[in-house]
């Protein structure tokens, strides 16, 4: 008889944590961000031979160095936050809405269209209401199409919404070519430059005050909706287990379509804010990849809209800062994407250490 083969306990093994104190979870995340900054620092140093601390200082200057820069940073963070808030209900339901980019663009197209057509016919407040309503509707339609197919025929929503982005981008290019001004420039130019019809009015003497108010209102509203409303509860149940939801008598199809209508509509509204409240023009870069970045914002915040504020600020800070270091140290401003990528990789990886414990092999346990 052969001897029973002795299995050694592996050097490292993992076990799921039962739960973790919130403070400890945040400590892990902060350590991850710090580590990522160190790695980014090494990247900056090897590429440029510049002191990374100096570079980070320049980044801070780029994002918050002057009153105007701070407001641009805030404006862009609000934009990202708005899309993230829009994505939160869909993702909480585990509906992979990768189509925010397209939903934002659709909202932007109708806003720009109304601004151009009715700019002289309606007073600005009425115009703003019409544009907001139209952009909500446009984003909603763009989001509901894949939702209906998912609900009825179980069509893969990740791939469907992804494709819808590119249809929307081409639609935007079409509108840009249609509305171009001056002719031959292939851009729409600033709409209603003279009359400023349909532009967001300054609030508290801040050009972007209304953006902040709108988005923060949405942020609070979405937090309450997800946490305290019956519909929010239904979203949670569907997200955790479709079968449980069905057993509990929740109409999964209805919840799927309704939630995507809300998600798409808020993303459409983000397009309205981007056009009427920031760029006053429309181009394929109106969404500018934010629809994808916002997915990361929503996911990392675990759908807590208040945490999203922090994450969108961090990401926009990185972008603005990198553009600054790019011009100051004669680099290329894609450095920001590299640094953003590194930081996100670390945060994504850190989630593992929040959910699991890594146990080293020790003599004591092995003898058990």
**Which stretches of the chain bind other proteins, using CB under 8 A?**
16, 47, 96, 98, 149, 153-156, 158-160, 162-167, 170-171, 173-175, 177-178, 289, 292-293, 295-296, 299-300, 330-332, 334-342, 344-345, 348-349, 351-352, 355-356
| Shortest Cβ 344–other proteins spacing (Å) | 4
- CA atoms of 56 and 17, how far apart (whole Å): 36
Place of tokens 């609900």: 151
**Alpha carbon 222 to chain centroid, angstroms:** 14
CA–CA gap between residue 51 and residue 281 (Å, rounded):
39
User: Least distance to other proteins from the beta carbon of 332, Å?
Assistant: 4
Q: What are 302's two structure tokens?
A: 């675990």
Closest CA to 331 of 85, 49, 57, 139: 49
Closer CB to other proteins, 9 or 126, in the complex: 9
Question: Between residues 163 and 203, which has the closer beta carbon with respect to other proteins?
Answer: 163
The distance of closest approach from Cβ of residue 167 to other proteins in the complex, given in angstroms and rounded to an integer, is 5
Shortest Cβ 209–other proteins spacing (Å)? 30
Least separation in angstroms between CB 293 and other proteins: 7
Nearest of 74, 90, 75, 80 to residue 265 by alpha carbon: 90
Residues 6+ apart with CB under 8 A from 268: 103, 104, 106, 107, 110, 135, 136, 137, 138, 139, 140, 142, 143
| Residue whose CB is less far from other proteins, 306 or 345 | 345
- Minimum CB–partner distance for residue 147 and other proteins (Å): 13
What single-letter DSSP state applies at residue 3? P
Q: In the complex with other proteins, which residue's Cβ is closer, 72 or 338? A: 338
Pick between residue 197 and residue 339 the one whose CB is nearest to other proteins: 339
Task: Report angle CA 179, 182, 184 to the nearest 5 degrees.
Answer: 85
Give the nearer residue to other proteins in terms of CB position, either 128 or 235.
235
The C-alpha atoms of residue 236 and residue 39 are separated, in whole angstroms, by 36
Nearer to other proteins, 7 or 16 (CB): 16
CB atoms within 10 A of CB 146: 27
Chain length of the chain: 368
Closest approach of Cβ 56 to other proteins, in Å? Answer: 17
């Amino acid at each position: 008889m052969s001897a029973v083969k002795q299995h050694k306990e592996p050097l490292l093994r993992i076990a799921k944590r039962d739960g973790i104190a919130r403070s400890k979870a945040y400590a892990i995340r902060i350590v991850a961000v710090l580590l990522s900054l160190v790695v980014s620092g090494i990247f900056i140093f090897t590429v440029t031979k510049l002191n990374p601390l100096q570079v980070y200082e320049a980044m801070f200057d780029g994002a918050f160095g002057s009153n105007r820069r701070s407001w641009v940073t805030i404006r862009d963070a609000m934009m990202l936050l708005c899309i993230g808030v829009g994505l939160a209900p869909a993702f909480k339901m585990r509906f992979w809405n990768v189509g925010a980019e397209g939903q934002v663009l659709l909202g932007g197209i109708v806003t720009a269209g109304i601004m151009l057509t009715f700019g002289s016919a309606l007073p600005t407040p009425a115009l703003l209401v019409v544009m907001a309503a139209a952009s909500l509707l446009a984003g909603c339609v763009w989001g509901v199409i894949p939702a209906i197919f998912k609900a009825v025929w179980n069509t893969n929503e990740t791939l469907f919404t992804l494709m819808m982005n590119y249809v929307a981008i081409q639609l935007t290019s079409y509108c840009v070519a249609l509305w171009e001004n001056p002719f031959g420039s292939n851009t729409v130019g600033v709409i209603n430059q003279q009359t400023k019809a349909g532009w967001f009015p300054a609030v508290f003497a801040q050009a972007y005050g209304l953006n902040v108010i709108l988005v923060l209102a949405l942020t609070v509203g979405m937090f309450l909706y997800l946490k305290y409303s019956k519909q929010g509860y239904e979203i949670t149940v569907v997200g955790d287990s479709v079968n449980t939801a069905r057993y509990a008598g929740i109409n999964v199809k209805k919840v799927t379509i309704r939630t995507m209508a809300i998600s798409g509509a808020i993303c459409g509204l983000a397009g309205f804010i981007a056009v009427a409240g920031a760029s006053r023009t429309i181009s394929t870069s109106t969404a500018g990849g934010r629809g994808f970045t916002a997915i990361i914002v929503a996911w990392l915040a675990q759908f807590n809209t208040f945490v999203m504020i922090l994450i969108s600020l961090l990401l926009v800070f990185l972008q603005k800062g990198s553009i600054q270091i790019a011009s100051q140290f004669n680099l290329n401003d894609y450095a920001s994407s590299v640094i953003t990528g590194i930081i996100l990789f670390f945060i994504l990886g850190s989630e593992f250490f929040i959910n699991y414990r890594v146990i080293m092999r020790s003599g004591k346990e092995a003898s058990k």
